[in-house]
């Protein structure tokens, strides 16, 4: 199959030992649900031009082999449902720009610790159960961060360093089913101490994530008013919110307080131009999240 460019199927799982090695030098996209013995299915040079890979149920050793056979990969989607062995080796994908990991066994951070992805632009992490965000991942060129089912409490200085210093190029932040501390947004205002926290940030998506009303209000005031170009910040911040999906902290509510939707409506009126309808270019980013 020398002309095959895209392959989809259960390539890795079989009980047969009489497997024909595939000759696919032009293969650029592979969706291999099970990938235990994928390298035995394809000739050594068949994966050299591979740009996109989606796999399920793999080990770090397999990822290492894939990195050596497919060094030109631009996009990887991993569904991890096996325990990954502890390892001190590093895995390099020099051209990788998009990495998505769906975790089922608490192995997201050990995986990230082994990866070297200097060109990464998009990182999407999805948990089956809540996990504290805890990694030393370095993404100086990272522009898109998507997090599903993470907690940021307690939010200590080490976590600040990872998010605010090693991801200084961040432009788009997606939080879905996340647990935030009551001062999360206020930490984004600490320009003097943190030296420009996410200066390029222009988009925040909050879905099923409870936030502090006062914290969010203070952040909006600072980002759209006090913090201006004189401090090196781009003040063109936008938040694309679905009022039905935003919830304020229960401890901030009173029996006679307005609903979440009413409070959000008040914020939208107080900050015209900040809250805008979701645009297609942003929803496209969430298609595989």
Task: Kindly report, residue by residue over 71-116, the tens digit of the pLDDT.
Answer: 899 999 888 766 555 556 788 999 999 999 887 666 788 888 888 9
Q: What is the CATH number of the domain that holds 215?
A: 3.80.10
In the chain, DSSP assigns E strands to 6-9, 29-34, 52-56, 75-80, 91-92, 98-103, 115-116, 122-132, 144-151, 172-176, 203-207, 209-211, 238-239, 246-248
Pair 206, 270 in one domain = yes
Which pLDDT score is estimated for 81? 63
Pair 27, 146 in one domain = no
Pair 145, 287 in one domain = yes
Rg of the chain on CA atoms, in Å: 21
Q: Is position 203 within any domain?
A: yes
Task: Kindly report, residue by residue over 26-83, the tens digit of the pLDDT.
Answer: 667 777 655 555 555 656 566 778 888 887 766 777 788 888 888 899 999 888 766 5
Q: Is position 125 within any domain?
A: no
Pair 140, 278 in one domain = yes
- The number of distinct structural domains making up the chain is 2
Q: Is position 127 within any domain?
A: no
| Burial class for 282, CB neighbours closer than 10 Å (0-12, 13-18, 19+) | middle
- Which residue bears the tokens 């082999």? 65
Nearest to 262 by CA among 242, 276, 243, 238: 243
Full residue range of the structural domain in which residue 74 is found:
1-103+116-120
Task: Kindly report, residue by residue over 134-167, the tens digit of the pLDDT.
Answer: 887 888 899 999 999 999 877 887 787 778 778 8
Pair 1, 143 in one domain = no
Position with higher pLDDT, 248 vs 278: 248
- Whether the pLDDT of residue 123 is over 80: the answer is yes
Pair 80, 172 in one domain = no
Pair 163, 270 in one domain = yes
């Amino acid at each position: 199959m020398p002309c095959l460019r895209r392959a989809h199927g259960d390539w890795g799982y079989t009980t047969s030992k009489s497997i024909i090695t595939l000759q696919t030098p032009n293969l650029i996209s592979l969706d291999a649900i099970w990938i235990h013995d994928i390298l035995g299915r394809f000739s050594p040079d068949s994966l050299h031009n591979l740009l996109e890979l989606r796999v399920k149920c793999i080990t770090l050793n397999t990822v290492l082999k894939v990195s050596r056979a497919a060094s030109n990969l631009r996009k990887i989607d991993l569904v991890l449902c096996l325990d990954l062995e502890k390892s001190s080796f590093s895995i390099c994908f020099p051209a990788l720009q998009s990495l998505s990991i769906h975790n089922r066994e608490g192995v997201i951070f050990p995986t990230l610790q082994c990866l070297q992805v200097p060109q990464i632009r998009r990182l999407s992490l999805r948990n089956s159960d809540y996990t504290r965000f805890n990694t030393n991942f370095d993404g100086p060129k990272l522009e898109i961060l998507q997090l599903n089912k993470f907690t940021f409490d307690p939010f200590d200085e080490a976590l600040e360093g990872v998010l605010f210093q090693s991801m200084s190029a961040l432009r788009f932040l997606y939080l879905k089913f996340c647990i935030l501390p009551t001062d999360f947004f206020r930490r984004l205002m600490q320009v003097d101490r943190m030296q420009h926290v996410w200066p390029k940030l222009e988009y925040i998506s909050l879905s099923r994530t409870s936030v502090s009303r006062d914290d969010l209000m203070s952040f909006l005031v600072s980002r759209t008013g006090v913090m201006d170009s004189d401090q090196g910040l781009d003040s063109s911040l936008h938040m694309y919110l679905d009022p039905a999906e935003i919830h304020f902290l229960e401890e901030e509510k009173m029996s006679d307080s307005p609903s979440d939707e009413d409070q959000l409506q008040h914020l939208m009126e107080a900050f015209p131009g900040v809250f805008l309808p979701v645009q297609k270019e942003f929803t496209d980013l969430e298609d595989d999240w």
